[in-house]
Amino acid sequence: GGAPPPPPPPAATPTVAAAIAATEKPLHAVPKGKGPQGKAHQEVFTKLVLDASGHARKLVEFERDFTPGYQTAFGIMCETEEPHGFPIDTMLFMDWRDGHLDEGLRGVNKNTPTFLYSMPFTETKIFFEETSLVDRPSLEFDDLKVKLAQRLEAMDIKVKRVDEEEYCLIPMGGVLPKFPQRAMGIGGAAGMVHPSTGFMVSKTLRTVIVLVDTMVDALEAQKALVKDKGGVIDADAISDKVWRAIWPADELRMRTFMCFGAETLMELDIKGTRMFFETFFKMEQSVWGGFLSWRIKPPGLVKLGAVLFTKFNNYMRFNFLASAMPFMGSFVKNFVGAQNTFDSNKWGGLGGFRLQKGDKDSIVPGQGPIPRPTGPSKSSESDVNDTKRIISSSPLDFMTQMAGGDMDTPRKASTLRPDREWIEFQQRKIFSDQAPIVDVLLPLRTGDTVDVLVVGAGPAGLAIAAEMAERGVSVGLIAPDTPFVNNYGVWMEDFVEMGLEHCLLHTYDDALVWFDDTNPAGGISLGRQYGQVCRRRLREHLLAKCLAAGVKYAPGLVDTLVHGDATKGEPSVVKGTLSAPSQLGSEDEPDAPGPAAAAGAPRETFEVAAQVVVCSTGHNRDMLRYEQGPNPGWQTAYGIEVNMPGHPFEVNKVVFMDFRQADPEAEANDTGVWRVPSFLYVMPVDANTVFVEETCLVARVQVPFDELKRRLYRRLTRMGLSVEKENIIEEEASWIPLGGTPPVSPQRTLAYGAAAGLVHPASGYSIVNSLRTAPKFAEAVVSGLKAGGSVEASARGWKVLWGDEQRRQVGFYQFGMELLMSLRIDQMRNFFTTFFSMPVELSAGFLSNRLTSLNLLKFALTTFILGNNQLRALLLTHLVSGGAGLRLGQAYLHPLLLAAGVQVGEEDLRSTTGGGGVVERKSPPQQTNFISYAKDVFSAEKQGMMPGFQGRDWWAVGSVDHDLVQGSNEGGGDDSEGGGGGGLNSKIHWLTTSEDFGTTSIAQARGAVIGWAEPAAMCERVIDHVNRRGVRLSFIITELTGDFIKDAHGEWWLLQVKSFHSEPRPTLIVREIAGIGARGERAVQSARGSRDTYGRGGAAAAAAGGAGG
C-alpha cells in the first residue's frame, strides 16, 4: 500500500527493502485487494515468504503440538570488586558442582540440575550464566538468579556492577514444522536448534547457503518454465524443494537422535547428568565435538551411542536404559524411516506427558512468577508459547538478591511500624459519603433514662439497637461518631436470606481458590456466589431502622458503669465524655485521637441511666469480664484498593483464597520453625480497579501488618503486577482476634457482636452472624426485661449468645481454629483441599455458621473420611494434645458437667444478686487485646523468631510472661553467659512484677510521649527511675536496652530488659545499708567488684536478690 515503489536500481546492485511491523499469518494465493482491510493493515505481495522469526514461529505451521524441552539461562555481564580469578584465555563450559547451594535448593537441583557457564574478558569484567541444559517445563529465571547468587557468594566473588542481564529461553526438540508448506523457514522457526545442547547459530548459517542456493535455482527454473510455456510460477514447488534441501533424510535422522538424547537427559538426576558428561567428554574430540556441532552423520551417531554405553559403569547403564526406554520405540521408527514424528510422550503417550510443574521439583516454592488468574489451564504446551514474548526481566532483582533486599527479607517486629498505629490508622478513616450519626438520629441527652443503652455503633451495635427499639422499649446509643471503615465480604445467599442484597456494592458469580502451583492457572471454582458489602448502604439501612424505631444517640465514650441494685429497681448508671463528631477514637481504640480532634477541644461529660446496658464495642474488652484462659488467635490482613488498568482478575469472580506463597518456604531445622501461611484475597471492582489483600487466616502470634504488606507486594511482583503509590485509592489494615476465652456469662452487662464472641473462630466472619442473630437476641432481652427486670433480661440474653448449643458450636469452631494455627503451608493446603471437596452443605454451612453441633460432628467425620492419612494423623494428634481436645470436650459436655457440680467457666454473681459494682473503662477487668498481642510479639522475638514465623512450640509463646524476675539458674551463682538468650524454651526475665500493666509502677515511663524512634530517651528515664528508687540495690545502672509498648491510655511501658551495664553504688550508700547482715554484705562486695554486662536476662536479678533488693 501507499506510494508507488521507487524505480528499480541497476541490476548489478542487490537491494533489501525493510519495514517495521507486526506480521500476521500469510494468506496464500489471495487476489490483490482481498486481504485484511483497515487502517492498521498494509499488504505486501511476494512470490515467496521465509519465516526467520526465531522461536516465535510467526508464519510456519505445525501438524502436531509443539512440545519441546527448554533450555533456560540467566546471565550477567558484570564488573567485580576484586579480580574474579578466572583465566582470561579460558572459558568455563560447564560447572555442575552444587555444594554451595543451601539445603532447599540442593534438593531442587537434584532433579533439575543447572551449571555455571562463564566467559572472562578482563580481570574484573566477566560474563556469568546459570544454565538449565534442558527441562520440561522450563525453570524459572528467579530460581536461576538465586542459584547464581549463592554460587558467586561461595566463590567469594562480589559483583560491583551489572552492565547487562541476559534471559535465555530456548525451545529444544519437539516436532519440526510440517513440510512441504508454502511458507519456508530458517533458524529457530525451522527447528534448527540442537535438541541436546541448544546451539543454533552455526547450523543456521551453514543452512542459509543451502536454502538460498536451492531457492534461487528453483525460482530461476520456474521463471524459465513460465517464459517458455506461460502460466504462473509454482511457489509451492519451490518451497517443497527448499524444505527437502534443508531437511534431507540424514539431517532428520540426526535430529531424531538428538531429540532422543534430550528426552534422556531430562530424565537424569544430578548424579546421572554428571556421570553422563564425565563419560561423554572422555571420548575422542572429533566424536563429542562433532555431536555438539551437528556435524556427525547417522553412522557416527550410532557409534557414539554404542561407545557411550560401553564406557558407562553399571549404575549409569541401568539409569540410562531406564531413562531412554520410554522413548525407544518412537526413536527407532523415526531414525530408521527418516520421519518427522518423534513423540515426546513416554511410551508413545501411554506413559503420560511430563508437563506440569508439580511432576518435578523444578522450582523453588515462593520464587518465580505466579500465573495470572486469567491464564489458561494448561493441558499441553500448545496452549502457550512463552518464547513469543520479549523477556527482559524477572520479578526478582539480582543485585537485590545479592544484597538481601527489603521485599524479600522479613524484618524484626521491633523495627516495623507498630501494629497499634496501623489499627489506629484503620479506625480513624473518614468517608465523606457516610453522614454523621448526629445528623440522622434524635439526640440522647445527659440525665436521660432509657430501657436499653447500647454502647457501640458498628454494624452489630446499630442492628441490635434497631431490633430492640422495634420491640417497644426505649433505646439509647453511645459511641464515637465514626463511619464503617472495614471491607466486608459475604456469601450471597446469606444477605439474600436477610433481605440485604441491596446493601451489596459488588456481586460475584463465583469464588476461586488456589492451593499450590500445580492448580490450573485459572483457579478452582467453588461454584458459590459472593458479594462485597457497600459500607455506606449498610450503614444507611441500619440507621434508617434506628431512626424509624426512635433510637436516640450521643457521640461519646463511656468511662464508668455502675449497676444499681436490680432487686430495688435501681437502674445502671453510665458516665462518660461527650464529643463533637470525629473528635474521639473508635470502639476498638477509644482513646486514640479522632481524625478531627484538636488540642484543647472541649469534652463535656454525660450521665445516662438504663435498665440494661449492652456493650457492642467490637474487639474492645474494657467494659466486660472474660473467663480466664489462653489468648485468642490473631487474623490480620493488609489490603489496598488500587487503580490497575487491565488487571488480570475476572470482574465477576472473587479470589477467595490463593495459597500460592509469596515467599520461599523456610528451611527445615532442629527448632521446627516455619513461615506462617498467608493467602491472597481479591475483590475486583471493575476492569481497571481491584481490591487485593494479603491475609493471615489465624496465627498464635500476630503477623504484623508491615510483614503482610511486604508479602503482598512481593506476590504482586511475582504476578507481574505493579502498584504505583499514586494509584492506591485506599489502604486497609484488618485486625480480628479469633477465639480466646468467652465472656463470663451470665454477667449484668450484656455484650453483642464481636465483644460477645460472635466472630467465627475459624474464619473471622462476624457481620452475618451479628445481623442474623440480632432479632432473636433482642426478643430474649426485651421479653426478659418485661418479665423480670434487668437481671432476667441479662440471663435470657446470655442464654441466646452462650447457651449449651452455642457453646458446643463455638467450641467446635475454636477447635478448628487451634488446628489451623498449628498447620504449616503443606498441611494447610492439604486441609483446604479436603475441606472444599466435601459436600457443599457441610463446607458452606461451616463457613456461614449454620451447622448445628450434631452436624459439626458429621462435618468432622466427613473430614476424617475424605482426608488422607497425613490429615487424619493431624486431626487425631490435635484432639489429644495442646488442650484443644479437652476444651472441645468441655464445650460438648457443658450441661452434664454443670449437673454434676463441676464448675466450668466463671459466673458473675452480681448478675444474680443484683448487686452494684463499678466498671471503669480505664481499669479493665483483664488485659486488653492490644497488650495480649504485643506481649506475644515481643516474646516471640525474644525466642528468636522473626515476625510471620511460628515454631514447634507455637502454643507456648507468651507463656514466659508468668516467669517473672528470676534470681538465678537452677545451678545457682551468676549467669555470666546471659541466661540462655533466645532458644524456643528460654526464660524471659521481666522487670515488671505483675501481668497487669495497670498496677505496675516501677516500669512506667510518664511524661512526654516518646515514640518508637526514641528508645534512648525512654531508657534514660527508666535508668533514672531505678537508680533513684532502688536505694537498697548494691549497684547502679549505667546503660540499659529494653523493649517498650504503649497501652490503651497512651502511656509507655517497659516490657522487658534486653541488657544493661552496672557499677557498684558509692561507699556512702553501702554504709547506709550495712546493717542488712553478712549475707547482704557478701553480695555487696561481690557487686562492687564487678562491672559485668548482662544480656537477655542475666545475673542482674541474682545480684539484686542477694543484696536484699
E strand or H helix at 684, and its extent? strand 679-686
Q: Where are the alpha helices (DSSP H) in 550-702?
A: none
Each residue's pLDDT tens digit, 581-599: 444 444 455 554 444 444 4
Task: Examine the pLDDT at 727 and tell me if it is beyond 80.
Answer: yes
For β-strands 475-479 and 552-562, DSSP reports them as parallel
DSSP alpha helices (H): ranges in 312-441?
Answer: 314-337, 398-403, 419-427
**Beta carbons within 8 Å of 103's beta carbon, 6+ residues apart:** 667, 668
For the record, the C-alpha cell of 277 comes out as 558428561
Cβ partners under 8 Å of residue 707, min gap 6: 410, 411, 416, 947, 948
Decide which of 371 and 859 is more confident. Answer: 859
CA 204 from centroid of its chain's CA atoms = 46
Residue 12 has pLDDT above 70, yes or no: no
Give the residue among 365, 405, 400, 413 at the shortest CA–CA distance from 708: 413
Integer CA distances (angstroms), 666 to 150, 410, 870, in order = 16, 12, 20
Instruction: Match 463465583 to its residue by C-alpha cell.
Output: 510
* pLDDT tops 70 at residue 986: no
> What backbone phi and psi angles, to 5 degrees, belong to 453?
-115, 120
Q: What is the pLDDT of residues 824-849, one digit of tens each?
A: 888 899 999 999 999 999 999 998 88
Mean pLDDT over 779-800 rounds to 93
The pLDDT of residue 683: 96
pLDDT at residue 32 in the model:
56
Grid coordinates representing 170?
A: 530456548
Does residue 394 contact residue 142 with C-beta atoms inside 8 Å?
yes
Q: Which of 1038, 1043, 1049, 1042 is nearest to 1093 (CA)?
A: 1038
Pair 433, 440: CB distance under 8 Å:
no
Q: How far is CA 1006 from CA 171, 622, 646, 1009, 1050, in A?
A: 69, 22, 53, 8, 10
Q: Which of 233-247, 259-273, 299-313, 363-377 has the lowest mean pLDDT?
A: 363-377
Least-confidence region, from 33-42, 753-762, 789-798: 33-42
Q: Does residue 105 surpass a pLDDT of 70?
A: yes
- Asked if pLDDT for residue 967 goes beyond 70, the answer is no
* SS3 label, residue 110: helix
Beta bridge partners of 735: 636
pLDDT at 800 over 90: yes
Tens digit of pLDDT for each residue in 36-76? 555 566 778 888 899 998 888 888 888 777 778 889 999 99
456-491 pLDDT, tens digit per residue, is 999 999 999 999 999 999 999 999 999 999 889 999
Strands 750-751 and 605-615 come out as parallel
Residue with cell 493446603: 829
| Euclidean distance between CA atoms 955 and 988, whole angstroms | 16
Mean pLDDT across 125-141: 89
| CA–CA separation, 1044 and 1015 (whole Å) | 8
10 Å CB burial of residue 1024 (0-12, 13-18, 19+) is exposed
pLDDT, one tens digit per residue, over 409-430 is 677 766 777 777 888 888 888 8
> CA-to-CA distance for 732 and 738, rounded, in angstroms?
19
Mean pLDDT across the stretch 746-775?
90
Which residues make Cβ contacts (< 8 Å) with residue 924, sequence separation at least 6? Answer: 621, 622, 623, 998
Q: Are 165 and 398 in contact (CB under 8 A)?
A: yes
Grid cell digits, residue 863:
473430614
Question: What is the longest distance spanned by two Cα atoms in the chain?
Answer: 133
| Residue percentage of the chain with pLDDT more than 90 | 32
Question: What one-character-per-residue DSSP string does 802-861 give?
Answer: HSHHHHHHHHHHHHHHHHHHT--HHHHHHHHHHHTTS-HHHHHHHHTT---HHHHHHHHH
C-alpha cell at 708: 503482610
Residue from 265, 269, 266, 295 nearest 280 by CA: 265
Strand partners, 1041: 1059
% helix, strand, coil for the chain, step of 5:
40, 20, 45
What confidence score (pLDDT) does residue 662 get? 79
Going by C-alpha positions, the residue among 134, 108, 118 that lies closest to residue 193 is: 134
Q: What is the mean pLDDT of residues 363-367?
A: 56
Q: What is the CA radius of gyration of the chain?
A: 37
pLDDT of residue 773 exceeding 80, the answer is yes
- With beta carbons less than 8 A apart as the criterion, state whether 995 and 928 touch: no
Q: Residue 747 is which amino acid?
A: Q
**Band of residue 8 on the pLDDT scale cut at 50, 70, 90:** low
Name the pTM for this structure. 0.61
For residue 444, the 8-state DSSP code is: P
Q: Tell me what the mean pLDDT of segment 597-625 comes to.
A: 80
Q: What per-residue string of b and e applies to 1063-1078 under the rule 16 or more CB within 10 Å gives b?
A: ebbeeebbeebeeeee
* SS3 (DSSP) at 8: coil
| The predicted structure's pLDDT at residue 391 | 66
Please state the length of the chain: 1109
Q: Determine the Cα–Cα distance for residues 1066 and 1058; give it in Å rounded to an integer.
A: 25
776 pLDDT above the threshold of 60: yes
